[in-house]
Chain A
Amino acid sequence: MRKYIQQLKDLKSLIVGLFITGDNLRKSTVTVHYPRQEVHNLASFRGPIELLPKPKNPTQPRCITCMMCVSTCPSGCITVVKHKAPKPSAEEKQAMAEAEARGEKVAKPKAPKTPKQFLYDYSLCSLCGLCSEVCPVNSIGFSSDVYMVCRRRSELKLDLLARLKAKADREGRTVDEVA
């Protein structure tokens, strides 16, 4: 008998539950009503990586093509193509040959340290941040691009140099302005 009375008493919890959901029905919604509203904490989101520009030239990355990021990335999603060393002209060649003949140290023309291409496959990236940690010149950072969408996987293969330039254009910053 006591069991049945207890069961009847337990029915009170059902009423309590109704009051709680009813109370919430009365209250305003808590969801972010995208696209009418947007979330505010995008700044702390560490999204797809981006190249950081040189302080004086917003279209040029700080990258010195040391390849640390490429070798560190666990997913192998970064590809950096170096510039080839410029071919010495005929005169330079001759000058070099003469210098060599004189037994001097020959300064061969060096390849520019800036990257020719900086490709990034976002579809492979796991956003661990190791690339940005190992970068000696702090050239890799995270973007807070949460709204990136694409239809094809190939669209996630990003050319970071182009994106850097596009960003500079978007922000209307040019070399001259900064200088």
Chain B
Amino acid sequence: MLDVILSPQFMRIVLAAVAVMAFIAANGLVLVYMERKIAGHIQRRPGPFEVGWHGLLQPIVDAGKLIGKQLFTPDGADGLLYWLAPVVSFVWVLPLFIPIPFGPQLTAFEMDLGIVLILAFSGTNLLALCMAGWGSNNKWSLLGAARAVAQSVAYEIPLLLAILAVAFTSGTLDLSNTVKLQGGWPWQWNIALQPLAFLIYFICALAETNRAPFDLPEAESELTAGFHTEYSGMAFGLFFLAEYANMIVVCAVATALFLGGWQGPVFSGVWWFLAKMYALLFLMIWLRWTYPRVRFDQLLNINWKWLLPLSLANLMLTALLTKVF
């Protein structure tokens, strides 16, 4: 037992977990700031400005505010589910970061089935939304949770198929290997081979992370705030952080799978990975501040009538071509 705990691999995982926590928190703050600044400038206003230089300290102050707020359980709520939900939502994001290859050496734990681990754990966020929706004893939360389930289940399939297509071409489920198999120049990336898979992956990623225009589980003009209607303070903060962490994960996976990961034309390294990841995050934010929200039946129609057949066709074509060549 002791030798397991003292083994370098275990220590590495523990260290990685701590590092991931710090990474999520730091990136969460950066993303919040980025989102608000971009939203502001798209709308021709400066965004946060008063706290710190150009409002740089705003996310930290916001976090402080959230931590300082009172936590209360709504009348008639299921206490266990209600309080477990934000914790589950946040904690289960952490393993998602373990197989992501940020740099040539900067991977928490290289594993052969990295993608499978991410896909397996990403489904648990849905459980948290369900628990929040049911435990809150609020009809809006319940409707939000019901929407989240239908949406998440539906969009996981084309997401999986899109990733599978990439796995077929590169012949591995290990993210580090996938990156290594790509080159530094854009035409050596998987996106050049699999543009459709990338598009499908990205749309599904928007839906999976509940980002506009697919933010139906928390559509504030319809469901007030959806599943987190009743949450306040840091309980809400954890949902918030988990949402941003999920965004980072899907963008990081997209970077590794489609955009050549840490490889760049020059000076390959972690900075290339972060730059590509943030470019995708920027696109997600840009989309959110441009489009109206789709309706629920349309959301499912997009999935079942467009994405699923397209991703299936793409996968079959990929399989055929890999067999032939």
Contact = CB atoms under 8 A, between A and B. Distances in A.
Interface in B132-152: none
Contact of A27 (B44, B49, B287): B44
Interface residues of A, number: 14
Nearest to A26: B41
A25 interface: yes
Interface stretch (A14-22, A43-51, A138-146): A14-22
Contacts of B41: 24-25, 29
A30 interface: yes
A58 to B, nearest CB: 39
Interface of B: 38, 40-46, 49, 286-287, 289-291
Contact of B286 (A18, A28, A30, A31): A18
Given A17-B291, A18-B286, A18-B290, A24 B42 contact: yes
A17 B287 CA distance: 9
A18, A25, A30 pick with most chain B CB within 10 angstroms: A25
Interface of A: 14, 17-18, 20-22, 24-25, 27-31, 33
Contacts of B290: 17-18, 20-21
27 contacts: A14-B291, A17-B290, A17-B291, A18-B286, A20-B290, A21-B42, A21-B286, A21-B290, A22-B286, A24-B41, A24-B42, A24-B44, A25-B41, A25-B42, A25-B286, A27-B44, A28-B44, A29-B40, A29-B44, A29-B45, A29-B46, A30-B44, A30-B45, A31-B45, A31-B46, A33-B46, A33-B49
Contacts of B44: 24, 27-31
Nearest to B292: A17
A28 B43 CA distance: 10
Contacts of A27: 44
